Amino acid sequence: METISVFSDTESLSQAIADHIIEKAKQAVSIKECFSVVLAGGSTPKEPYRLLASKDYADQVDWSKVHIFWGDERCVPPNDSDSNYRMARETFINKLPIPTSNIYRIEGERKPSDAARYYQERLKEFFVGKPQFDLILLGMGEDGHTASLFPGTEALLNTKDWVTANYIEKISTWRITLTPQVINQAGNIIFIVSGEKKAETLYKVLQGEYRPDLYPSQLIKPTQGILNWYIDKLAAKQLNLK
C-alpha cells in the first residue's frame, strides 16, 4: 500500500512526520516493547528530528525501547560535518534518554567494505531471521537517489547483502547503504521530500516511466508494509493528484 500526503509548508510537513514517528513508536512499544527505526540523512529530516526532542513529543515515548539505525552513511568519522550520525545525534539523539546500546551507528571511519560488513553483522544480531524494521525514513535526492542508492551504481542490483559499500562515481566517494531488499521488508517506509527543486524528479519517480536505474527511489516498494510519501506543496507541483 502506498499513500501520498501533501503539506502546505515545511513546518506542517515536519510536524506530520514527527507525529507519524511517535505514533509508530508508541504502537510498536505497546505491542512488542521494541521499536526499530532507520533514520535518513541529509537536511530535510532535521526539523522533524528536532521536534522529536521537543517537549510536545519527547515525553510520549519510552525511549529506552527505541532502537536507532541508519539507512546510509557517508564514509567519514562520526564527528565529521557530513556524518548522518552526527546530524541525528545533534538534532535529537543526545537530547533524549536513548541507551547508547540502542544506537547502531554505521562506522563510516572504517574501510568501506569493513564498515558495511560490521554494520550488517550488527543487524543480523538484532534481527532473528529477516531484517524487518518497524519504520524506515528515506529522503530523495534531485537525481532520484534514496539512502545511498544512486543512479547507475552497483548497490541497485545487490540482492545478496543487507548492507553494502557503494562507490558513487558522480561524487567520487564511497557510501554505506542498506540494500533495496532490506528497505522493502520494513513494516512502514516514509519518504520525506520537500522543495521545488525536487518537483520534476518526484514526478518522474511517482508518475513517470519505471526506470529504477535512473531513479532508484522507484526501487522502494514494500513487500508487505506501507509506503507513505510525505511531501510539501512545492515538491508536489508537477504531480497529477486526483
Which positions touch ligand 6PG (CB under 6 A)? Answer: 40-44, 71-72, 84, 139-141, 145-148
Q: How far is the CB of 72 from ligand 6PG (least distance, A)?
A: 5
Q: How many residues does the chain have?
A: 242
41/212 with CB nearer ligand 6PG: 41
Q: Which is nearer to ligand 6PG, 42 or 222 (CB)?
A: 42
Tell the smallest beta-carbon distance from residue 43 to ligand 6PG (Å): 4
In whole angstroms, how close is the CB of 147 to ligand 6PG at the nearest point?
Answer: 5
Q: Which is nearer to ligand 6PG, 61 or 69 (CB)?
A: 69
Residues 40 and 49: their CA atoms lie apart, in Å, by 10
Q: CB of residue 210 vs ligand 6PG: minimum separation in angstroms?
A: 20
Cβ proximity to ligand 6PG, 65 vs 74, nearer residue: 74
Residue 187 in contact with residue 134, Cβ under 8 Å? yes
Q: Cα 166 vs. chain centroid, distance in angstroms?
A: 16
DSSP string over 26-80: HHHHHHHS-EEEEE--SSTTHHHHHHHTSHHHHTTS-GGGEEEEESEEESS-TTS
What is the Rg, in whole angstroms, of the alpha carbon atoms belonging to the chain?
Answer: 17
